[in-house]
Amino acid sequence: MSQEFRDDRIFVAGEWRKGGGAPIRSVFAAEGVENTVLSGASAADADAAIERARAAQADPAWQGLKPHERASYLYRISEGISANIERIAWIQSRDTSKTLAETRALAASAAGTFRYFAAVLETSDDLLTVPRGDYLTASVHEPLGVVAAITPWNSPIASDAQKVAPALAAGNAVVLKPASWSPLVSLELAHIIEETGLPPGLFSVLPGSGREVGDRLVRHPDIARVSFTGGTETGRALARAAADKLIPVSLELGGKSPTIVFDDCDEDLAIAGILFGIFSSSGQSCIAGSRLFVQDSIYDRFVARLVEATRALVVGHPFDPRTQVSSLIHADHRASVAGYVALAREEGGEVLAGGGAPDAPDLAGGAYFEPTIIAGLDNSARTCREEIFGPVLVVMPFSGVEDVVAQANDNDYGLACGIWSRDQRKCWQVGRAIRAGTVWINTYKQFSISTPFGGDGASGIGREKGRAGLRAYQRQKSVYTDLSGQPHPWARWPAGA
């Protein structure tokens, strides 16, 4: 595809400038080549972005807008993304090595997110509440101020949109810090947002080190809210810093999500769903269905069929339309995934499919890893407890509902769950018994922007998406207005009244 990278500048405080931090090297891991080198942001850039954001957020040019006027910016951002889907997809595929089919879908979903929150903004009412006296009570919603949005590398345009759209819709300014492995698409979003004429300073993009720039954002006194998606340990550190300032923080963290296959399921549907649930995005997905529980009565046959289907998956270049499993984002990440497979072997696991880099000579220069299935481990093994974030599935047997609910819930994470059975009542009951923010019944990895998303336990705090997603970026204020025109009797004033 004939596309080009832009120069090395980043979008700070309403202008394109060189960042003062360490350079950021974007790589195309599928080919082991460099994309471009950006000037990374520094803590001083974060300070400058926040100072300008604070002024822009408080300016009547932004605060004075009616909701439908603010919404018009979001509609324009949505249209800008839609008009540039091919470029955004190309940039994100080069930055993350995801297939073009996937990055096109992510870009379309980001456009939908901006459109949705524009519509939510235009249709959300403040409340008149029931009074207990001769007064009028209203509950109104106001912006928080400057929001820090910190995102991971796996689906940047979609995670950026899930934070930036509701935060702007709610009347805030946003400082976005993308992950260092995937900075390019967030800067592309900045170009699109700039072209809508959004008042300068309301939006900045600061690619840079988490420890320097991310940390400065979280601790800065003028950041009123932190919206974070990323790893659990980073989330914990961030929440501690936010606690010192007593500001709201939402955390979308990792997962080790169970998929449950009952012996009365449609096996072909289940196999297709399981493959998609763990191996799409090369497993680099927080909601990957990475622990598979198969009922013991069908275990051997089902797992054999799953292994056969896994071996048939096409591992290939992200720009080849036949590819199902592409390269991992970075050679370092492949080393981490390979480390987990080595650990599984040490723990006594048996590798039934995959287990290493593919042999194909044309993939030798990339960070590819074969879709891998591991059996023979107990749910307590580290391989079954820790997030691998790669194309690695562990398979375990279970005997019945009670057993599988106990095993599925025996994990620190609580992000998602898949259930496969023709018995809808059983699916519902098991779904309600599993600790997870999202349950899929006879499907997996389906998403609607209208449906809240988030995790429990080590998978996070708070929900994104849905109509309430807008309110997460606002504070509520209650206003009482007297209707009586009478002095308060307690005061006995004026005398004799």
- The residues that touch ligand NAD, with contacts defined as CB under 6 A, are 150-154, 177-180, 210-211, 214-215, 218, 229-231, 234, 237-238, 252-255, 286, 387, 389, 415, 455, 460
User: Distance between CA atoms of 67 and 140, rounded to whole angstroms?
Assistant: 13
Question: Pairing state of beta strands 146-150 and 173-177?
Answer: parallel
Query: H/E/C letters for each residue in 378-444?
Result: CCCCHHHHCCCCCCEEEEEEECCHHHHHHHHHCCCEECEEEEECCCHHHHHHHHHHCCCCEEEECCC
User: Distance between CA atoms of 217 and 24, rounded to whole angstroms?
Assistant: 18
Q: How far is the CB of 443 from ligand NAD (least distance, A)?
A: 18
Looking at beta carbons only, is 67 or 460 nearer to ligand NAD?
460
Helix (H) or strand (E) holding 45: helix 43-58
Q: How far is the CB of 295 from ligand NAD (least distance, A)?
A: 28
User: Distance between CA atoms of 39 and 342, rounded to whole angstroms?
Assistant: 37
Q: How far is the CB of 452 from ligand NAD (least distance, A)?
A: 12
Q: By three-state DSSP, how is residue 478 classified?
A: strand
DSSP E strand stretches across 193-232 = 203-205, 223-229
Helix (H) or strand (E) holding 293: strand 291-295
As given in the structure block, the two tokens for residue 238 are 């961030």
Looking at beta carbons only, is 48 or 261 nearer to ligand NAD?
48
Looking at beta carbons only, is 177 or 317 nearer to ligand NAD?
177
Looking at beta carbons only, is 261 or 341 nearer to ligand NAD?
341
Token look-up 């950026």 returns 160
Q: How far is the CB of 169 from ligand NAD (least distance, A)?
A: 19
- Between the alpha carbon of residue 395 and those of residues 117, 344, 375, 462, the distances in Å are 39, 12, 5, 30
Looking at beta carbons only, is 327 or 421 nearer to ligand NAD?
327
Looking at beta carbons only, is 150 or 363 nearer to ligand NAD?
150
What is the residue-wise DSSP string for 299-333? Answer: HHHHHHHHHHHHHTS-B--TTSTT-SB---S-HHH
Q: Give the residue numbers annotated as catalytic, written as ranges.
A: 252, 286
- 325 CB-contact burial (10 Å; exposed 0-12 / middle 13-18 / buried 19+): buried
Give Cα 385 distance to the centre of its chain. Answer: 21
Q: How far is the CB of 227 from ligand NAD (least distance, A)?
A: 11
Q: How far is the CB of 347 from ligand NAD (least distance, A)?
A: 21
